[in-house]
A and B are shown apart, each in its own frame.
Chain A
Amino acid sequence: NAGVTQTPKFQVLKTGQSMTLQCAQDMNHEYMSWYRQDPGMGLRLIHYSVGAGITDQGEVPNGYNVSRSTTEDFPLRLLSAAPSQTSVYFCASSSTGPYSNQPQHFGDGTRLSIL
C-alpha cells in the first residue's frame, strides 16, 4: 500500500543548480499538490493540480515549475536553486474532483538544502 511516494528523501544542491522532486501516487487521485514547510511558516502551497494537464499556482510559486502529464505523477522542478528554497517539501493527493471534501494523503517529504 504505497500511497504517496516522494523521491529523493534528502538532497543537497549548490546555488544555481536545477533539479526535479518526484511525486507519485497509486490511488488514482485527481487532486495533487506541493507544499513547503519552513519553521514558523507552517505549510505553504506552491502549486497544485486538479487533473492531468491542469496545474495552477498556490501561495509561493516563484522559482518552481510543475507539470501533470499523467494522473499518477506530479514532479516539482527547481529551475535555478537558491538558498531561500532550503526547506522540506511535501507532496499530497486527494480523491475526486475540484470541489472535493476528501482529506489529502501526504508523502514523507523531501529535505532539500541549497548551499
Chain B
Amino acid sequence: AQSVAQPEDQVNVAEGNPLTVKCTYSVSGNPYLFWYVQYPNRGLQFLLKYITGDNLVKGSYGFEAEFNKSQTSFHLKKPSALVSDSALYFCAVRESRDDKIIFGKGTRLHILP
C-alpha cells in the first residue's frame, strides 16, 4: 500500500528567502505525486503534479517540486517566499495501478515578514 510522509509539522521561513517543504513516499509501482495548499476554512487547492518525464515540475504561484526516485522524495520549493504563501501544504501520492489517493499529514508553512 502507498504511503506519504511529511517529516516537518511546521516550517518557518523569512520573507524573500527560499523555502522547502519535504515529502517522501512509498509505493510498489510508479508514483503519481501531487502538492496541494489549504488556506483557513477552505478546501485543498492543487499546486502541481509529477506523473512522468522531467524531474523538476513547475506549478502555480511560483512553486516547483523536484522528484527524486532514488530518495523517494518529492520536495516542494520556491525561490523567494511571500507572506501570502503562509498556509498548510499537503503532499499526496497515487500508485499508477491503484485508485486510492493518499495524503500526508500536512506541513504548516509560516513566512515571517
Contacts and interface: CB of A to CB of B under 8 A. Distances in A.
Contacts of B103: 35, 42-45
A48 B99 contact: yes
B12 interface: no
What bracket does the count of chain A residues touching chain B fall in? 20 to 34
A24 to B, nearest CB: 14
B113 interface: no
A105 B34 CA distance: 12
Contacts of B97: 99
Interface in A48-87: 48, 50, 56, 58-59
Interface string A98-110: 1101011111110
Contacts of B6: 42
B88 to A, nearest CB: 9
A90 B44 contact: yes
A87 to B, nearest CB: 14
A26 B99 CA distance: 21
Given A41-B105, A42-B105, A90-B43, A56 B99 contact: yes
Contacts, number: 61
A34 B37 CA distance: 17
A41 B9 CA distance: 11
B101 interface: yes
Contacts of B90: 42-43
A108 B49 contact: no
Contacts of A101: 32, 49, 51, 94
4 closest A-B pairs by beta carbon, nearest first, are A106-B43, A42-B105, A103-B46, A43-B103
Interface of B: 6, 9, 32, 34, 36, 41-46, 49, 51, 90, 94, 96-97, 99-106
